[in-house]
Amino acid sequence: MTSAKHTVQLGLDRFLSTPPAETAGARLGLLCNAASVGRDLVHTRVHVKNRFGAQLTTLFSPQHGLFAEKQDNMIESGHRRDALLDLPVYSLYSDTRIPTRDMFDAIDVLIVDLQDVGTRVYTFIYTISHCMEAARAHGKKVIVLDRPNPIGGVLIEGNCLDREWASFVGRYPIPMRHGLTVGELARLFNTDFAIGCDLEVVPMEGWQRRMQFDETGLPWVAPSPNLPTPASSLVYPGQVILEGTNLSEGRGTTQPFELFGAPYLDTFQIQDVVRQAALPGMVLRPTEFEPTANKWAGEICHGFQIHVTDPQAFRPYRTSLVLLQAVIRCHGDRFKWKAPPYEYEYERMPIDLILGNGQMRHQLGSGVPVAEMEASWKADLDRFSKCRAAAFLYT
């Protein structure tokens, strides 16, 4: 489907044209990665260097590295030097995920320009939260350059994380699909979750909450290796659950998260089970694929591709929970939950960390209807909806 294009001006554009007063003469750090580009596809670090010269002293990178070169989870990237600008690059997915005092010694202001994907478990937002905490501790200012939520800013979905299941894939009690931009999330973290740093968000112009990414007129650069297109980010809030199972989530293929399956899957049986479920806005197309890496590498997987036909009606979290429950029902003898480790957690089950809840794994296995689970989350979602409204930059 095609969408009308709009002209969205990024926070980066507004920052470069009218820098905040605190940047005058300040030493600048920049948290960025491969997707940190302007409309012209020139990297943010180049734009900032051209605008501020020697004031830019330090770069920082999140999970997957400065150029999103590391493919999988728990594959660390080392500290390095940027060959283009001859600046140090501190990896915040290395021996530490928390910036140290030494890393912040050469900066007065940290600029953040990262593309989020609208999903609770995406680690970039927690890297930002750790940077905000470090900035508060070391007396630095944080300026977040806002970018679109690629799956829109209206819909929220899923259970809010239980605090006892906090981890690097979920630090705060927000739902799986949070419906906020990265700048709005930073505001929420700073106030509702009491980080309390010196924070400024440079908002976009022209972005509307109902927009899908392909309506913004902006170029898509994969923020991480397995989200190559806006379509992959649209299914990600549900399909990321499969990382906690022995189902392939399509890693090692050209369509990660859109494709899923396993050698043992009977697609006809799965379709029969899910046929009566309320799964609007999508078509489930049976297919086969052979991952070149990750789970079931080199083996033929029977499965499906999720084709989203109506992004406003599609509910990724509900869809993936229904599909997962169907797999458990049809293939309980071969389906397995993935064992630790997962994202620096070595004892707790990955699925519990992803779901942010210690009971849902058992509910799914015992056949509790997904609609019944959704009803139990409503009060928490209503509370979150009120909290997030206070962080809105766009109506």
pTM (predicted TM-score): 0.97
DSSP 8-state class, residue 346 = S
- SS3 (DSSP) at 197: coil
Token digits for 366? 């015992």
Give just the sign of the alpha carbon dihedral 298, 303, 307, 312: negative
- Reading phi first (left if > 0) and then psi (alpha if -120 to 50, else beta), residue 343 is in left
- The span from the CA of 393 to the CA of 395, in Å, is 7
Closest of 143, 175, 130 to residue 316, by C-alpha: 175
- The span from the CA of 131 to the CA of 123, in Å, is 13
3-state secondary structure 139-164: CCEEEEECCCCCCCCCCCEEEECCHH
- SS3 (DSSP) at 57: strand
CATH: 3.20.20.80, 3.30.365.10, 3.40.50.12170, 3.40.50.2300. Which one for 11-221?
A: 3.40.50.12170
- SS3 (DSSP) at 262: strand
The pLDDT assigned to 205 comes to: 98
The pLDDT assigned to 1 comes to: 44
Token digits for 156? 């929220």
Domain ranges of the chain: 11-221, 230-376
- SS3 (DSSP) at 260: strand
The pLDDT assigned to 5 comes to: 73
For the chain, residues with pLDDT lower than 50 are 1-2
**Taking the domain 230-376, which CATH number applies?**
3.90.1150.140
